[in-house]
Amino acid sequence: MLNLVLFGPPGSGKGTQSALLIDKYNLVHLSTGDILRGEIAAGTALGLEAKSLMDKGDLVPDSVVIGMIKSKLENNPDAKGFIFDGFPRTTAQAEALDTLLAELNTAISGMLSLQVDDEELSKRLLLRGKDSGRADDQDENIIRNRIKEYNNKTLPLKEFYGAQNKLQEIEGVGSIEEINQKLCTAIDNL
């Protein structure tokens, strides 16, 4: 199986690039952000709990997102592989993912980390906020908090995957097509 972690700060292009990669490599796309927004749209109890945190730019509790990923893995027994987009975001999530994949006799093939500076991230998110309707894309303070959460809780995962020799750094500024080419080259060399 080809199991990829697409990694990077908010607005680095994870969702954008995942959409291109799932077609090329025939993978199942698992975006915890998309799943959570689906729960909010459906008005579930989980969605209600998540909304107040997401609107502030805080992370949702590990137990919630790990449970979501577990059920998605169980519901896709015939997948050729997965792209994990926006997951894991904490060390506890990364450890849980390793355990879940080991139970399926598979593992993460590689972590592709998109590098984008903070100024470009804010610019992209505010631009998307003009028509996404997402509260977390419309306010500079909330965007700053999302980047802070990333730096504090998510960035350490580079060391986690680096220690497993699975980290690949990719320049995330440039055209979507150029970045996609770099990602494909890295994936083909895994």
- Contact residues toward ligand B4P (CB under 6 A) are 10-16, 32-33, 36, 53-54, 57-60, 65, 86-87, 89, 93, 124, 128, 136, 146, 176, 179
* CB closer to ligand B4P out of 97 and 167: 97
Q: Is 4 in contact with 97 (CB distance < 8 Å)?
A: no
The answer to whether 134 is a known catalytic residue is: yes
**In angstroms, rounded to a whole number, what is the distance separating the alpha carbons of residues 149 and 182?**
27
Q: Is 173 in contact with 120 (CB distance < 8 Å)?
A: yes
Token pair in block for residue 111: 């972590």
Q: Is 50 in contact with 147 (CB distance < 8 Å)?
A: no
Q: Point out the catalytic residue in the list 128, 144, 158, 182.
A: 128
Q: How far is the CB of 145 from ligand B4P (least distance, A)?
A: 9
Q: Point out the catalytic residue in the list 56, 123, 134, 182.
A: 134
The answer to whether 89 is a known catalytic residue is: yes
* CB closer to ligand B4P out of 13 and 110: 13
* CB closer to ligand B4P out of 60 and 170: 60
* CB closer to ligand B4P out of 145 and 164: 145
For residue 142, give the nearest of 176, 83, 150, 70 by alpha carbon.
Answer: 150
Q: How far is the CB of 164 from ligand B4P (least distance, A)?
A: 19
The residue behind tokens 């309707």 is 133
Token pair in block for residue 108: 């993460």
Find the residue with minimal CB distance to ligand B4P.
Answer: 33
Tell me how long the chain is.
Answer: 190
Catalytic positions are 14, 89, 128, 134, 146
